[in-house]
Amino acid sequence: MMRDFYYDLSDRGVLTLDGAVQDDPWFLDFFFRRLAPTANPEYPEYPYVCRCGDEMNYLRPADTPIVYTGFDGSRLYYGYSLSTPFHPDRLSYSEDGVLYHWSPIGDRGRVVPHVATEIAKHIEPWGPFYAYLGDNGRERVPLMPLHLEGAIEIIRPRRDNHCIGCGVANPFSLRLSFVRDLKDGVMRTWLRPDERMHGSMGTTHGGFVSLLLDETMGKALSSVGIRAPTARLAVNFRRPMLLGEEYEVRSWIGSQQGRKKYVFGEVRATNDQSHVVADAEALFLEVRTPEGE
């Protein structure tokens, strides 16, 4: 004979049964290790279940079925001693400031405040979003804003890529991440020029300004599956790009004529969008694979 039990999980990770806190270490790990979505439509308010022999232990989470209550710098902990590897690129956040991380159940797990505070020591504003400072501050890893899921795409640097702009395998790379607006196709990134980009009179070298524009314009094409190297790039320098200040680099596809792709880009100060540092237009030539290959 099957027996049903109905558990609740608070947004602080406290598991209760009829108001009684369940804190036995063995049971907590057993419960969350075996937790799975339930296909039983009779209990829509209890969407998860842990089956144990003839017992069906249903779970109603206040938010997510996994709540992370511990962090050691490399792993996030839930239940009593269960854990998952911490990956900054799997962080996300809600409009009201709740931090989440990917979890093996329910796609994401809520991070309790004291753990979120520890992780937030490495998070800073990145344009209108937030980013985790990885690799000793060399890489900014954007967090997905949950209220914009389906409206934007975050394009991250690839680990096997040697690109000077967006690769990780290149030790001198800028490791740029990008945000693509899925409605208008505009590609954006944000950065603060540092001493690596130093030019004359304490400003960013014009070659780096051109690199940023070229990289962002190329990404507007590659993000939609167009492989096209730069054939021509014309940059108009309007104002100096100051070291340490944050700037937005944006690009968009203008027109396409066969293999020819015309793309536009600009650099603006994040805190003053009327402050245009540079604008550019470029011609890219699409590389097409011969038929049959």
pTM: 0.91
Secondary structure (3-state) at 88? helix
pLDDT the model gives residue 15:
98
The CA distance from 261 to 256, in Å, is 5
pLDDT the model gives residue 291:
61
Give CATH 3.10.129.10 domain extents, the chain: 148-285
The CA distance from 106 to 53, in Å, is 23
pLDDT tens sequence across 80-131: 999 999 999 999 999 999 999 999 999 999 999 999 999 999 999 999 999 9
pLDDT tens sequence across 201-260: 889 999 999 999 999 999 999 999 999 999 999 999 999 999 999 999 999 999 999 999
Which fold, 148-285?
Answer: Thiol Ester Dehydrase; Chain A (3.10.129)
The CA distance from 235 to 27, in Å, is 64
Secondary structure (3-state) at 75? strand
pLDDT tens sequence across 168-195: 889 889 999 999 999 999 999 999 998 8
3-state helix, strand, coil in the chain (%, to 5): 15, 45, 40
Whether 38 and 28 have beta carbons less than 8 Å apart is answered as no
Residue/partner pairs of 155-164 with CB below 8 Å, 24 or more apart: 155/179, 155/180, 155/187, 155/219, 155/223, 156/89, 163/215, 164/211
Locate 187 and state its tokens. 């590609």
